[in-house]
A and B are shown apart, each in its own frame.
Chain A
């Protein structure tokens, strides 16, 4: 669950004042608003990457306002993926566990699990320079999910992708949410994207966040088989 209460952030001339909103546990929320309205600032504040003046942020009931980003257990997927250019896909998927000094066996199991979930098994030894846009975003998503965070923050993760890849990613994001039960906050400019993904739509306008019901909420179960990418592991799981 994400709870933002009376949050005030100042950054040069720009400010957000008294912002409050909630995303229920396990919900997939999209955050929409004009360019420059402060969506990225808000998501960075939740991740602990932006200092705040006042207010508080609670993630799954825990007050994280004064905690470092590393202590918040938030998965963060920035716009361009921001992959580590010197690391392979395998190293990306294991990075958060390596930092947490998890055992080798546990790391290998988790990497295999994520690679299967995200269709990355055949790319594990590749460097980011050898990945397509969609593959890069899948790696960024896997890296963010690897330590099983309670909250996932995505900053326009699909904006640079073509229409077909984007459709695959919609499916994948829903699967990831369903499989992990993570609470997600996803910035987007696309109404279609929001309609496809959101359980809850948040609109940031002139420093205020309003919650509106999604236009066409669909769960993964409602998706036609043709929408599902072939490489995804859930196909095997759903086969009786």
Chain B
């Protein structure tokens, strides 16, 4: 027991002291809320401005144009093919980078980031130069790539895949390796453990990677302009249409096409969110 006069005095002093004043949380949340709201308002204002600028007539006119219909079709097909290719490449790379150590891993990691940090125009130019080299020319002797539809898909793939690889790596990082290890003790080889246990666990990450790759491909413009050209009814995708319409001063058509792209991106985003959030527990 420490009920000495000194200890008692200290307690008494503490008891008599002024209650600790806790400042309000309001400025903290207000500050964060205001910053967030400004950005959110900007996003919505942009879309509202687009919608206000155009009219159903402009949209219908855009949809009626054979060139724009071709661009919509090519965009949808090329983005879907790019997404499939990106996932096909991103899943094994993401898995290996996440779960395995090997010599030169840091270098490989840095190389995988190059398409993300390079200016898009440089990617287009680099692809163009690559297909002017002897190896590129040899490939071109069998399949025409440059200034043809395959070049659109390749240009989209170069950037979209890098984002898909990042997403898949983070996905595999977040999946505990324990399930896979248990599967190995239950009789699986590494391949069976991957296909039966790891990949189903990674399905949401795959959906996110696919969404990201698709959206990224839809907006790809710089590399396509340089590597594929902007030939109507041939290598014209939706961003190319916006560029071509703007260059001839047809701003109404450019905005109408932009809104079509916004609508396509929103549909993909909503589908991904709806399927991604489903979590049946029975």
Known: A76-B182, A86-B203. A96 touches B187 (CB 8 A): yes
Known: A82-B179, A126-B282, A129-B281. A96 touches B186 (CB 8 A): yes
Cα distance A125–B182 in the bound complex, in angstroms: 21
User: Is A48's CB under 8 angstroms from B187's CB?
Assistant: no
User: Is A127's CB under 8 angstroms from B282's CB?
Assistant: yes
Cα distance A130–B200 in the bound complex, in angstroms: 18
B126 at the binding interface (Cβ < 8 Å): no
Known: A82-B178, A96-B187. A130 touches B281 (CB 8 A): yes
Residues in A whose Cβ lies below 8 Å from that of B282: 88, 125-127, 130
Cα distance A118–B178 in the bound complex, in angstroms: 23
User: Is A70's CB under 8 angstroms from B178's CB?
Assistant: no
Residues in B whose Cβ lies below 8 Å from that of A84: 179, 183, 197, 200-201
- 8 Å CB contacts to B: which residues of A124-168? 125-127, 129-130, 143-144, 146-147
Q: Please, could you name 22 A-B residue pairs with CB atoms under 8 Å apart, sorted by A? A: A47-B181, A49-B185, A68-B189, A69-B181, A70-B185, A72-B185, A76-B181, A78-B181, A82-B179, A82-B181, A84-B179, A84-B183, A86-B201, A88-B282, A95-B196, A96-B186, A99-B186, A99-B188, A100-B187, A126-B282, A127-B280, A127-B282
- 8 Å CB contacts to B: which residues of A77-91? 78, 80, 82-88
B279 at the binding interface (Cβ < 8 Å): yes
Residues in A whose Cβ lies below 8 Å from that of B188: 70, 99
Contact of A143 among B176, B186, B201, B281 (CB under 8 A): B186
Cα distance A147–B201 in the bound complex, in angstroms: 23
Chain A minimum-CB-distance residue to B201? A85
Residues in A whose Cβ lies below 8 Å from that of B185: 47-49, 69-70, 72, 74-76, 144
Cα distance A96–B197 in the bound complex, in angstroms: 12
Cα distance A147–B281 in the bound complex, in angstroms: 26
B116 at the binding interface (Cβ < 8 Å): no
Residues in A whose Cβ lies below 8 Å from that of B201: 84-86
With most chain B CB atoms within 10 A of its CB, the pick from A47, A86, A146 is: A86
Chain B minimum-CB-distance residue to A82? B178
Chain B minimum-CB-distance residue to A140? B182
User: Is A70's CB under 8 angstroms from B200's CB?
Assistant: no
Residues in A whose Cβ lies below 8 Å from that of B183: 84, 95
Q: Shortest distance in angstroms between A159's beta carbon and chain B's nearest beta carbon? A: 14
Q: Shortest distance in angstroms between A63's beta carbon and chain B's nearest beta carbon? A: 18
Measured CB to CB, the residues of B under 8 A from A are: 176, 178-179, 181-189, 192, 196-197, 200-201, 203, 279-282
Cα distance A76–B186 in the bound complex, in angstroms: 8
User: Is A82's CB under 8 angstroms from B182's CB?
Assistant: yes
Residues in A whose Cβ lies below 8 Å from that of B196: 95, 99
Q: Which 6 A-B pairs have the closest CB atoms?
A: A130-B281, A82-B178, A86-B200, A99-B187, A69-B184, A76-B185
Residues in B whose Cβ lies below 8 Å from that of A48: 184-185
Can you name 6 extra interface pairs (CB under 8 A) apart from A96-B186, A130-B281? A68-B189, A84-B183, A95-B196, A129-B279, A143-B186, A146-B186
With most chain A CB atoms within 10 A of its CB, the pick from B183, B192, B281 is: B183
Chain A minimum-CB-distance residue to B193? A70
Q: Shortest distance in angstroms between B193's beta carbon and chain A's nearest beta carbon? A: 9
Chain A minimum-CB-distance residue to B176? A82
Residues in B whose Cβ lies below 8 Å from that of A127: 280-282
Residues in A whose Cβ lies below 8 Å from that of B178: 78, 80, 82
Cα distance A130–B182 in the bound complex, in angstroms: 20
Q: Shortest distance in angstroms between B274's beta carbon and chain A's nearest beta carbon? A: 18
Q: Shortest distance in angstroms between B243's beta carbon and chain A's nearest beta carbon? A: 44
Cα distance A129–B279 in the bound complex, in angstroms: 9
With most chain B CB atoms within 10 A of its CB, the pick from A82, A83, A88 is: A82
Residues in B whose Cβ lies below 8 Å from that of A69: 181, 184-185
User: Is A95's CB under 8 angstroms from B281's CB?
Assistant: no
Residues in A whose Cβ lies below 8 Å from that of B200: 84-87
Residues in A whose Cβ lies below 8 Å from that of B181: 44, 47, 49, 69, 76, 78, 82
Chain B minimum-CB-distance residue to A83? B179
User: Is A70's CB under 8 angstroms from B179's CB?
Assistant: no
Q: Shortest distance in angstroms between B205's beta carbon and chain A's nearest beta carbon? A: 13
Cα distance A192–B188 in the bound complex, in angstroms: 35
Cα distance A75–B197 in the bound complex, in angstroms: 17
